[in-house]
Structure 1
Amino acid sequence: MLNQISLFAANTKGALSKITGVLAQSDVNIYTMLATDSAEFGIVRLIVDKSEEAKSALEKAGYQCRLDKVLAIDMASDKPGTLNRILSDLQNANVMIRYLYISFDRSDSTPIAVFCTDEPETETFLRGKGYRLLDRF
């Protein structure tokens, strides 16, 4: 499993660059980032090379952060239906997915499905089905 930092950010101009600025000053490399918005604030999710240091730096800058465990599946292919196969296997196992986003492996440009679930046995199930789970980007 991977550590993901989740934080709330103001839905204002420059809000994301303030976050990335804090991380840059702390020499933290961002592997993947997802920012979603609502009327007043956004939720930013990050996977970085130094999650504890990043969380500490962001908190010192005034952000409320938490570390979440997420699963990252090497999809191994960008062909249509690859994600559907993974999601179908999870549905058949009765696994509830809280959220999901797609990133890419920087070395070979293959997609990576990053998702969060509250089902503790999901990692074991996926490995048993032959999926390659990543413990780092």
Structure 2
Amino acid sequence: MLKQISLFTANTNGALGRVTDVLAKANINIYTILANDSAEFGILRMIVDDSEKAQEELVKAGYQCRIDKVLAIDMASDKPGTLNKILSNLSRANVFVKYCYISFDRETSSPIAVLKTDEPETETFLKGKGYRLLDRF
């Protein structure tokens, strides 16, 4: 499983840049990022090269954040329906997916489905279905 940084930030002009500035100054590389917003705050989800250091630096900068474990599934194909097949397999196994986003493997250019679930056996289930799970980007 991968470690993902999740944090709350104000939904204001420049807020995202302030977060990335903290990470840049700490020499932390962002592999993938997802930014969601609401009226007053945003939730950032990031996979970085050093999640513990990122959390430490972000907390020092005043951000409320945590480290979550997520699954990264090598989709092996960019063809239509690939993500649907993964999600259908999970649905049939009664696995609730809290959220999902797509990134890519920088070495192979293969799409990667990053997803969060609280079901501890999901990793074993996906491997049993023949999916390759990544433990780093």
TM-score (norm 1): 0.99
| Letter aligned with residue 79 of structure 1 | K
Q: Which residue of 1 aligns with 2:50?
A: 50
The CA deviation string for residues 104-135 of structure 1, in whole angstroms up to 9 with x for no partner, is: 11122211000000100000000011000000
Distance, in Å, in 2 between the alignment partners of 1:87 and 1:12 is 34
Q: Which residue of 1 aligns with 2:101?
A: 101
- The offset of 1:92, in angstroms, is 0.8
Q: Secondary structure at the match of 2:98?
A: strand
Q: Secondary structure at the match of 1:5?
A: strand
**1:79-118 counterparts in 2 under 5 A?**
79-118=79-118
Distance, in Å, in 2 between the alignment partners of 1:15 and 1:82 is 34
Q: Which residue of 2 aligns with 1:125?
A: 125
Q: Over the residues paired in the alignment, what is the CA RMSD in angstroms?
A: 0.5
The CA deviation string for residues 93-113 of structure 1, in whole angstroms up to 9 with x for no partner, is: 110000000011112221100
Q: How many residues get paired?
A: 137
TM-score (norm 2): 0.99
The CA deviation string for residues 1-53 of structure 1, in whole angstroms up to 9 with x for no partner, is: 00000000100011001000000010100000000000000000000000000
The CA deviation string for residues 72-92 of structure 1, in whole angstroms up to 9 with x for no partner, is: 000010001101110111011
Q: Which runs of 5+ in 1 are unaligned?
A: none
Identity %: 74
Q: Which residue of 1 aligns with 2:136?
A: 136
| Letter aligned with residue 12 of structure 2 | T
Q: Which residue of 2 aligns with 1:61?
A: 61
Distance, in Å, in 1 between the alignment partners of 2:87 and 2:99 is 12
**1:13-52 counterparts in 2 under 5 A?**
13-52=13-52
| Letter aligned with residue 57 of structure 1 | E
Divergent runs of 4+, >2 A: none
| Letter aligned with residue 130 of structure 1 | G
Q: Which runs of 5+ in 2 are unaligned?
A: none
